[in-house]
Amino acid sequence: MLIFETIKSLQLYLSSFLGDNKIGFVPTMGALHQGHLSLIQKSIEENDVSVVSIFVNPTQFNNQDDLLKYPKNLSKDITLLESVSCDVLFAPSADEIYKNKLESEAFVLDGLENQMEGRYRNGHFDGVGTVVKRLFEIVNPTNAYFGEKDFQQLQIIRKLVEKTELKVTIHGCEIIREADGLAMSSRNVRLNKNQRQESTVIYKTLRKVKRLFLTKSIQEITEWVSNEFSKNAEMSLEYFLIADEQTLKSINTKELNSSCRAFIAVNIGDIRLIDNINL
Ligand code: AMP
């Protein structure tokens, strides 16, 4: 695998793939796990060359402590990337991406940016939009792969591409889970043994929500979820809601002919986990 730290060296290498070749791209923040690898494997299958970026983007963290504690393990990441025969790793510094202006652009994306994570993490999606747009401009990919684990982010990137007319096809990839159902996340390594055990409640709750959705009202389901979490001393529920997959607006009544999803954000100690399920 080739590793580049500068835009210039990466672009020089990628210039040999101009023409009919397809460039696949998977942006990540590192501390890689099977969830990331599933995206990378899809990219490798569908493209002539696949680029993975590892960049812990400072502007998307609304909480400095979360940024400082974000797990990092570049040598393990390189081993994992080589195990799936990834072609290129792009691991730039913050200076390389932001020059000397560590600021986000402000994005208006039909209100998608104001729901859920946008409401609870001030400036988060401006940071995400800024870095993804910048990375797309650098890599110029044919296809880019994002996980449904961050479903709101996936829809926001789709909207950003539509609005900016960037020539990249966005692919959503299914959520990869641990054997007990917990959605894989780089932050999971920060959970202690007890927290890790408790965290299984998140997906168990979502599975039950999916069953309840067939017979109960959204209000009854929402009350049941908040009651389940109130019994748990280690965890606090930040939000639970059922929303339309396209608008991401929460819905109070079941709608025919539109798909919806249940979304959840939970704090366990100082670790914040999110998950979702289609209904
Ligand atoms: P991150 O490194 O957390 O920024 O994630 C990089 C990409 O991997 C994003 O598109 C995530 O949605 C995706 N991803 C993270 N965890 C998972 C998972 N458990 N299953 C599928 N995709 C994931």
Summarize pLDDT for 190-218 with one digit per residue, the tens: 999 999 999 999 999 999 999 999 999 99
- Cβ-Cβ contacts under 8 Å for 268 (sequence gap 6 or more): 191, 195, 198, 199, 234, 235
pTM: 0.97
Cα(34) to ligand 1 centroid in Å equals 9
Instruction: Specify the ligand 1 atom closest to the Cα of 150.
Output: 12
Region 100-114 average pLDDT: 95
The number of residues in the chain equals 279
30 CA distance to ligand 1 middle (Å): 10
Q: Is 36 marked active-site?
A: yes
Contacts of 249-255 with C-beta under 8 Å, sequence gap 24+, read: 249/111, 249/115, 250/115, 251/218, 252/218, 252/219, 253/217, 253/218, 254/213, 254/218
Give residue-wise pLDDT tens across range 36-49. 999 999 999 999 99
pLDDT of residue 100: 86
Tell me the CATH architecture of domain 186-274.
Answer: 2-Layer Sandwich (3.30)
pLDDT in tens, 128-149: 999 999 999 999 999 999 999 9
142/149 Cα distance (integer angstroms) = 22
Nearest C-alpha to atom 10 of ligand 1 is from which residue?
A: 146
For 145-164, write each residue's pLDDT tens digit: 999 999 999 999 999 999 99
Q: State the distance from the centre of ligand 1 to the C-alpha of 253, rounded, in angstroms.
A: 30
Are residues 26 and 43 in contact, defined by beta-carbon separation less than 8 angstroms? yes
Local confidence band at 74 (pLDDT 50, 70, 90 cut-offs): very high
Burial of 247 (0-12, 13-18, 19+ CB in 10 A): middle
- pLDDT band at residue 258, thresholds of 50, 70 and 90? confident
Q: Residues near ligand 1 with C-beta < 6 Å?
A: 28-29, 35-36, 38-39, 146-147, 149-150, 173, 175-176, 183-186
- Domain ranges (residues) in the chain: 2-173, 186-274
**pLDDT at res. 209:** 98
- What kind and span of H or E run contains 50? strand 49-54
Residue 86 has pLDDT above 80, yes or no: yes
Q: How far apart are CA 229 and CA 12, in angstroms?
A: 52
What is the dotted CATH code of the domain comprising 2-173? 3.40.50.620
Active-site annotation holder among 33, 36, 124, 171: 36
